[in-house]
């Protein structure tokens, strides 16, 4: 899960009226490091419980609701699962299918030496049905790793807000901020440090195809065979869940398509690093 950790905190909170003592808590979630920085006491028991409940729905590495869906082809569908699937559908539509959680059979085939041709034939998020049950097409499987870390960051931020924390930064590979501003550096795995962003009351997520390689190419797989257009993509918006999914899809899209999708998803800004290390940032 290191593939999204190219945004790094480079400065602490800048708070009006002078410095406030910040506390930092570090833990683990979804097999990755979790860090929360806040000006006040964190509701750690509630945060741990929330993360455990999210992993019980979305984990691909231990028994979970998503594992049951992939194995049986249908589940009743908890509120958490349906929330994330509805958001995934939104991003899938706005990105013209570039974000597609049904890529999981292809990912496994490439990672484990299976048949990628047969696996690619199973791709198609439009085959998902959500009625009384959540249903997949025959032999399909989903991965929600490209959106669920953002969902978790949003949920942890909500718990911090409910605890009365006005200044808080949740780092789960995606960043979700309450208050701020927080100064966050942008790094590309090839070009190195490329500057910093200021984040207040929102989210930033980033994706880079060079972060992990599978047989035949990047871990960011094009559902229709698309190859990465960008070395790194960083997305800012109100929701870490939407930013998480959008940053994954935008790696596979051209500048015009990204601009159109960013508007449709209500994003605020997009940073694009091309394969030569050139950085462009545009407001939406």
Residue 204 CA to residue 202 CA, distance in Å, equals: 7
Phi (first) and psi of residue 12, to 5 degrees = -80, -165
Angle between helices 44-58 and 145-162 (to 10 degrees): 160
Mean per-residue pLDDT of the chain: 87
**Residue 172, C-beta contacts closer than 8 angstroms, at least 6 positions apart:** 29, 30, 32, 34, 149, 150, 152, 153, 156, 240
CA-based nearest residue to 106, from 97, 114, 96, 98: 114
Q: Under DSSP, is residue 217 helix (H, G, I), strand (E, B) or coil? A: strand
- 18 vs 278: which has the higher pLDDT: 278
Any idea what DSSP says for residue 128?
Answer: -
pLDDT in tens, 14-55: 333 334 456 788 888 777 778 898 888 899 999 999 999 999
- 239 vs 5: which has the higher pLDDT: 239
Counting every residue written for the chain, the total comes to 284
| pLDDT classification of 217: cutoffs 50, 70, 90 | low
268: pLDDT strictly greater than 90: yes
Residue 181 CA to residue 186 CA, distance in Å, equals: 16
pTM over 0.75: yes
Q: Supply the pLDDT for residue 15.
A: 36
**H helices within the chain, ranges in order?**
44-58, 65-72, 79-94, 104-112, 116-120, 145-162, 240-250, 255-264
Any idea what DSSP says for residue 123?
Answer: -
| Domains and their CATH numbers in the chain | 2-283 (3.10.520.10)
pLDDT in tens, 56-103: 999 998 899 999 999 999 999 999 999 999 999 999 999 999 999 999
Q: Supply the pLDDT for residue 215.
A: 58
């Amino acid at each position: 899960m290191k593939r999204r950790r190219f945004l790094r905190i480079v400065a602490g909170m800048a708070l009006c009226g002078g410095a406030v003592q910040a506390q930092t808590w570090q833990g683990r979630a979804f097999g990755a490091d979790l860090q929360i920085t806040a000006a006040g006491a964190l509701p750690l028991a509630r945060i741990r419980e929330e993360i455990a409940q999210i992993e019980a729905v979305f984990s691909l590495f231990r028994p979970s609701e998503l594992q049951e869906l992939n194995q049986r082809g249908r589940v009743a569908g908890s509120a958490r699962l349906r929330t994330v699937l509805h958001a995934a559908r939104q991003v899938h539509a706005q990105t013209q299918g570039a974000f597609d959680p049904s890529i999981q059979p292809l990912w496994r085939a490439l990672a484990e030496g299976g048949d990628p041709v047969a696996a690619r034939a199973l791709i198609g998020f439009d085959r998902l049905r959500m009625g009384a049950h959540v249903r997949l097409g025959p032999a399909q499987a989903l991965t929600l790793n490209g959106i669920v870390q953002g969902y978790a960051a949003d949920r942890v931020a909500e718990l911090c807000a409910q605890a009365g924390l006005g200044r808080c930064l949740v780092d789960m590979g995606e960043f979700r901020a309450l208050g701020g501003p927080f100064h966050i550096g942008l790094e590309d795995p090839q070009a190195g440090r490329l500057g910093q962003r200021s984040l207040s009351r929102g989210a930033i997520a980033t994706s880079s195809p060079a972060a992990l390689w599978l047989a035949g190419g990047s871990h960011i797989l094009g559902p229709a065979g698309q190859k990465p257009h960008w070395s790194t993509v960083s997305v800012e918006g109100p929701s870490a869940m939407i930013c998480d999914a959008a940053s994954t899809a935008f790696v596979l899209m051209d500048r015009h398509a990204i601009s159109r999708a960013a508007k449709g998803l209500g994003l605020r800004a997009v940073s694009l690093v091309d394969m030569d290390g050139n950085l462009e940032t545009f407001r939406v």
